[in-house]
Amino acid sequence: MRDDDWPAVRRIYREGIDTGHATFETEPPEWEYFDGSRLPDHRLVAETETGLVVGWAAVSAVSSRPAYAGVVEHSIYVSGQARGLGVGTALLKTLTVSTELAGIWTIQASVFPENQASLKLHLAQGFRIVGRRERISRSTHGPRPGQWRDTLLIERRSAAI
């Protein structure tokens, strides 16, 4: 992912937000915040043959404590026009390789239980559900504004590290 990918990444992020099942965020962040909060070596975009960005993935450190240096939280988003075409699988496989090469042993995320496509993708790539966080936050947008939402904590532990 490069700086000039940001407009497309932001658009895809916005699509995910609009579904109401991708994040509690209500707006994509500004580039400066995104850039400062994601690890630069593990930001990916998926492009068509013509260079159109149709998906992205990125990771953030879960803690600044040295004991958690090998644990990251990831995000992965695929544009509506590219869903079901293997873009998410390609991004997640590439992200797994990238993080393992850097010594990262755990990739985690929180996923809404209603986001079955994301859960199916992750479970197929070696992630497992390790817990349910009940009523963790209220939705402010999407199909359930004002309602408390659960999330599933998923993780993938590296077999190589």
The token duo for 6 is: 């940001």
* pLDDT tens digits in sequence order for the chain, 161 residues long: 999 999 999 999 999 999 999 999 999 999 999 999 999 999 999 999 999 999 999 999 999 999 999 999 999 999 999 999 999 999 999 999 999 999 999 999 999 999 999 999 999 999 999 999 999 998 887 788 889 999 999 999 999 88
Residue spans per domain, the chain: 3-62+69-157
**Span 3-62+69-157 CATH architecture:** 3-Layer(aba) Sandwich (3.40)
Q: Catalogue the E-assigned strands of the chain.
A: 44-47, 53-61, 71-78, 106-111, 128-138, 148-157
Q: State percent of the chain over pLDDT 70.
A: 100
Q: How far apart are CA 121 and CA 86, in angstroms?
A: 9
